Structure 1
């Protein structure tokens, strides 16, 4: 987490002037995490993505972060991403050790295990944001579009099938050969995952209603590195 943002939030909450930026970023402390709002966390992730795209990451001393981690962890967000090796979550948002929880599964779908992890991150560990991150050319989505059957992957792709079936208004072939169709399913799948989180986790849904947690979705561009936020229905 970036000290400029964290300390500005903490200082602002005390009615004091914001300090000068420090030389390097450090993970949030318990006090700093508590002072953050979900919107401030989202803004920080998107600012980090802008730095990633511009190839201007903030300075961060790994050894200092490792040492800070021995004292505890207070991450500000939980990012649910695909396993795709081309989507390095921490780098994409210019975050370091201790800044964010990351859960990865092919197709960025929810599961009992992911929901339990999210509930730990938010209700127990104090994170303020759940970010469901899809990406262009997702192999899992393409597999679902094509009806692929392969061992345990079959059951995983079945979780994406409702997103495939839910896409309307796209002309042409309803398979991975049609990029427009695949892109639409990728977006629909992120929206489905968000809806499933709200439906299957009373803990998270309650935190969201209270304004303690925000759930958002976005799509990562393999070509540009940019994350585009999806419109929220909340």
Structure 2
């Protein structure tokens, strides 16, 4: 998109440069330059036209899990390059009242610095998003995933961790939330602790970035395996090639998503 806009701007600059020259020398009149400039302006306007449509049932049905992942990778490239697609949210909101056909569900951390739809350059009706600190699975999350895949037709489940995850930091440091009256938070941190234990052998501290990064990755992989183990329905869909459950880690500094678990 930006390449087309850049080319259009270059063309306009060149044309206006010509208009400043003697018409007899260039053979191009100022009137001709103005007309061509209008056409270039139209091209720029078309490039800038916001998307009004949303994901349809037919599009959802015809895309394979790998195609969906490929589209999300391309969307992430747009995000990392600060080249997000323009969307007419008012029109998309109106169309979405008829129904929804998201292609995927993303399980993300609650971290406010991880804007899931933006990270994949997606809009209204494109994707289900589930959030919980530390991007772990529980019964409600599994149920939401089963609804998204077995009922609503989504073909990809992405468990997306992220760099500098606060929940992982506290799990690494063995924060005793229970003693502070936060039993539910303690239960959540306990769900992440197996990933910490699995990476033991180094300096176990949230100040050890390399170690924390390993735990973040291991926690994502563990969650992916837990989803398969806890949901025969989703495992069956995956075994049949109708669903793909993959992991990913979002780097907050670069804006890039690194897919794991064999995602193409």
Q: TM-score, normalised by structure 1?
A: 0.87
1:47 aligns with 2:74: yes
1:31 aligns with 2:50: no
Q: Which stretches in structure 2 are left out of the alignment for 5+ residues?
A: 1-46
How far does the alpha carbon of each residue in 1:120-155 deviate from its partner, in whole angstroms, 9 at most, with x for none? 000000001001100001000011001112212110
Greater helix fraction, Structure 1 or Structure 2: 2
- For these two proteins, the number of residue pairs brought into alignment is 212
Q: CA deviation at 1:222?
A: 1.0
1:157 aligns with 2:189: yes
3-state secondary structure, aligned to 2:60: helix
Equivalent residue number for residue 179 of structure 1: 209
Return the alpha-carbon distance in structure 2 between the equivalents of residues 154 and 57 of structure 1: 38
3-state secondary structure, aligned to 2:102: coil
Q: CA deviation at 1:68?
A: 1.1
Equivalent residue number for residue 125 of structure 2: 98
3-state secondary structure, aligned to 1:78: strand
Task: Report the more deviating stretch, 55-64 or 207-216.
Answer: 55-64
Equivalent residue number for residue 62 of structure 1: 89
3-state secondary structure, aligned to 1:103: strand
8 Å Cα contact 1:27-1:75 kept in structure 2: no
Q: TM-score, normalised by structure 2?
A: 0.77
1:198 aligns with 2:228: yes
User: Which structure is larger by alpha-carbon Rg, 1 or 2?
Assistant: 2
Equivalent residue number for residue 219 of structure 1: 249
1:75 aligns with 2:102: yes
1:108 aligns with 2:138: no
RMSD: 1.7
